[in-house]
Amino acid sequence: MQCTRDQKEIQAQIARIGLRAQLPHIDSYQPVLCTFYRGEVVCGQQQPLPYLYIVTLGQLMGSIAAPSGGAVSYLSCGPGDMAGELELISGGCCMAQMQATCRTRCLRIDLGVYRDTVRQDQAMLRLICQNLAHKLAATAQSSTQNLLLPLPQRLAGKLLAGQKDGIYCQNLSRLALIMGVSYRHLLRCLSQMVERGLLQRAGRGRFLLVDPDALRRLADGVRSRQL
């Protein structure tokens, strides 16, 4: 992790997500700009979270570890999203491990200094409520699809949402985590799609979408955010 108080960089990131329109007095919180790199943990599950983060670039992924040793990914935070707002409101520890999936930049507010101010700031609370509502809707949608729709249908939606120029090259381990299945189960489903002529292996975990129309028909009814 790298942090800076360089005002030029901070103001550029504030402008990047249009934060000042929702929070005109963001400067009063003296935010620090933090950069996390792929795989870096922002906060561990059940660990105190002394900061409120506002993502300006990249993505943070939240995952909850099961007693059996597995883990399930339950949300992602992209530009404009917050991390730590639930813990701020509840006063508890971080309910999930938050980890950067790529180079990710966040504005960090020190709750050790500004916790009471944030809790009395109507504009900030409005922004927090918007973030929590967005996460609730996204989590409900994902949970419903994971429970009710078969894996091939859900996977087709993810492949279409995550492809670029007809190639899907996202991390398969993370994809399995997001979809709530084992890595082996995911590979078996991908292999079946290759056998059906929907996909073609393109090397190093990448897949060419050979028949996008068939994948769209298979994914009918699936709503999927890009990973």
CATH number of the domain at 212, please: 1.10.10.10
Residue 111 lies in a domain: yes
Q: Do residue 37 and residue 137 come from a single domain? A: yes
Identify whether residues 75 and 126 lie together within a single domain: yes
Average pLDDT, the chain: 88
132 and 46 both lie in a single domain: yes
Give the range of the structural domain holding residue 70, as residue numbers without chain letter.
2-146
pLDDT > 90? residue 8: yes
Global confidence as pTM: 0.74
Q: What is the pLDDT of residues 154-204, one digit of tens each?
A: 899 889 988 888 999 888 888 887 787 888 999 999 999 999 999 999 888
Work out the widest C-alpha separation in the chain, in whole angstroms: 58
Residue 226 included in any domain: no
Q: Which of 98, 123, 146 is the last residue in one of the domains?
A: 146
* 172 in the same domain as 92: no
Location of structure tokens 């520890």: 93
Q: What confidence category does residue 72 fall into, taking pLDDT thresholds of 50, 70 and 90?
A: low
